[in-house]
Structure 1
Amino acid sequence: MERGNVTTPFGRRAMTLGMFASQVIASEIDSQQPIDKWKLFRTVCEAKAVVGVSDRALAVLNALLSFYPKVELTSGKGLVVFPSNNQLALRTHGMPGTTLRRHLATLVEAGLILRKDSPNGKRYARRDTKGAIGDAFGFDLSPLLARAHELQTAAAAVALARQEAQLARERLSLCRRDLTKLIDVLRETDQTSNWDDLQSRYLLAVDTLPRKPGLAEIEPVLKQLDALRAEVLNQLEKLVNLENSDTNDSQNGCHIQSSHPDSSTESEPGFGSEAVTFSNSRQTSDSMAVVQASNRTAIATDAASQTETPEVTRGKTHRPPQTFPLSTVLKACPDIVDYGPGGKVQSWRDLMVAAAVVRSMLNVSQGAHDEACRVLGPEAAATVLACILQRSPHIASAGGYLRDLTRRSMRQEFVVGPMVMALLRANPGSMALAS
């Protein structure tokens, strides 16, 4: 950073170390990376909890960006906007002056903008003989551009945490519903069971949940409910097995061919009145066996559906495909590493964060990404996005391609493995490392 580029605030406002750090960051902009200002603004909105700004401060930032004449932010001296407070108040829907100044200070403290004050504290621009802006005094948007990758990573982490919390809430709702109804079945079919103790433990577990639980509150309760659910299913399974055993014993004990064992016609069931009795008894016995076998099959199927909850998509049961090891995915798709937290991908969660950043960069809609995560699974969806990024020069529409792969996976026509292996074969060096 050139020392002559450091600016200090006008008037009584003191210079702080944070202001100096923001100016250092703003001076390290990659000149080859312009970015759409409105996409960047939406990224800041998604990461506002991490950045530490309110929705009113974001409204002021939106107004400042509207004064920048171009759609894309690029490095240079032209990133300074110089609207007056009256103009800003109009574009923030009549925000009072004191509120406006407070939120401007919040944006400066958050490191999203810089003040570039003139000698007299006014905001204006000097133009050269051709009418071009030579030097301007106002608010510098350089920190916003310099922190673009950091903000995208933070927004991706927030989106991933929100998705994990949503999945946990769905699992909690399903588990609560299952337990409520399974305990009712146990109470109605076996009065001697400990259903009242099970119900008390269930109520004690769910009573600890707050009104709007987060992931940290849901996970321990979900573990307790999963264990309780397994216990209830075990008791119901034992009850079903006991009933089946009693039914089989009674069936075997009542199997009498004739009421006259000394009759000479017993060894010839094709003749006499006893033949009709034997035939009817045999048909009734066979019918009972068929009905009992059907009941056992239905009960086993229902128990399996209770213990395993595969993802259901449009009425079809679909199990997410198995993913490759993370190291293999990174060897096949090395470009995704640059978008991970801190420029590294060391875990599957880092890969999912990087995939969320890449999703925005490739103009893949949030809906397409959520559907892919639901059908393929979060790890496999992140792997597919990494492969799409690796082959992005050959793909016209990344979003359409992802939707097509998702639909094919729902029809059991697509798995991730061949795609990863094709990229490994396309790069012989990575293939050797993978082996």
Structure 2
Amino acid sequence: MGFSRFLADWLQKYLFFSGPARRLTHMMNLSINSFRKLTPAIIKSQKLASDTNVVETTKTEVASALKKAAPALGIKGTAYHILDILLALSKADDWNAKRKPIVAISNEKLAEYVCRSKRTVSRAISSLVEAGVLAYKDSPTGRRFIHRETNTDGEEGKIKTGFGLDFSPARQRVRELAQIATSFAKKLAAEKEARRSVTRLSRAIADMIVYGEENELPVGPLVDALTKVTNTSLPLAECAERLEEIHDMGIEILSAPFLRDEKEHTSCAGDIIDAPIHNTNSTTPNFICNEQASTLDHTTQTPETDAKSSMAFEDVKGNKSEGEKADTRPMPHPSEAIPDSKLTIGMISAATLQMQEAFDLKIENWSDMNKASQDLCAALGVSTKAFNAACMEIDRRLALGILAVTCEKMLRDPSSISNIGGYFRACVSRARTGKFALNRTVFGLIKGQAACQLQ
């Protein structure tokens, strides 16, 4: 009974599982070990490695782009060290478009090179694959090896069979890696400059606060603004911009007293002489010339006045032009308010005797004055750009007159003008608005010269 039952069970079992059904059941019971757990980044690297449109490049170009972009890709420490070793082991010929840049080296050997554990090396390689630099090309057993063809001269040729770590993803991304490296370098430079600006401006603002407190200046807003920025977590670039604004505000606060004093010293409001000047001579001196027909406003000149102006600017040797002959009419009273356009070169020459003596000049016409303008600007510290701008804002002759009287006043009393450039610009600004009377300034200088001669 027992044997019969055993035989029946045995026949049923092996007859049922015979043929294809038995083989399928055997395969389903097999245990397949995987290489690793896949991630989207690993799959993306595998896709890049299998791309048939190979980018033409070289090992040198890819290696340079990789090392420059490594910080931006998060490759550092052991991963960077392993990347450097793998690049050194790859052959330059394998980076050709018709080959695969595969490197075959075990994790044990890499662990010896970098003095780390095999587990650390495995994680570093995984990070390189996920960064889109490498791709796995595994053999059936997981071992990494390369078999190469042998050339006729006995040297190793291209790879015939190779399994290991493939640099094809980096080769396909070489242009992208170069752009990443460039952007990262610019970002680092901007952060470095912002960091320097933050340190520099913070110290400068601190110095301003100390100076303001010592001199009882209103630096309260400066302190509040600096405290607000330092207590707020801001990006370096934004923090540098805020500190730049605070620094500018500090300069305005600290320079306010100096600007106020400069305005008081450089104001030309006192140049207007209100006291009447009476001429006791029946005739005017020979140095006062009749050039009143020539106007200073070149925008309103007529052909007739243009001819006279051109005569006035000619270099005269020996004889004087008709417009420079002596005039016997009495000197006008300042209260008659002679327009600046009627001011003659003779009046300016009479008012600037010390200037002509100091610079060895002889001002007989506007051409002489124009030639001396460059030396006068250099002596007074007035830039050529500022003088040309004055000639554009007002008339050139009027600007020459202001330059001459400024130099004369400086020579007579150096302490009267603290800022020559500011004084000149102030006179030009007032002349542009019609608030500066050059004729009265000239008569005042002539009067002062006459008083000195009497003493």
Structure with bigger gyration radius: 2
Please, what TM-score do these two structures have when normalized by structure 1? 0.49
Please, what TM-score do these two structures have when normalized by structure 2? 0.47
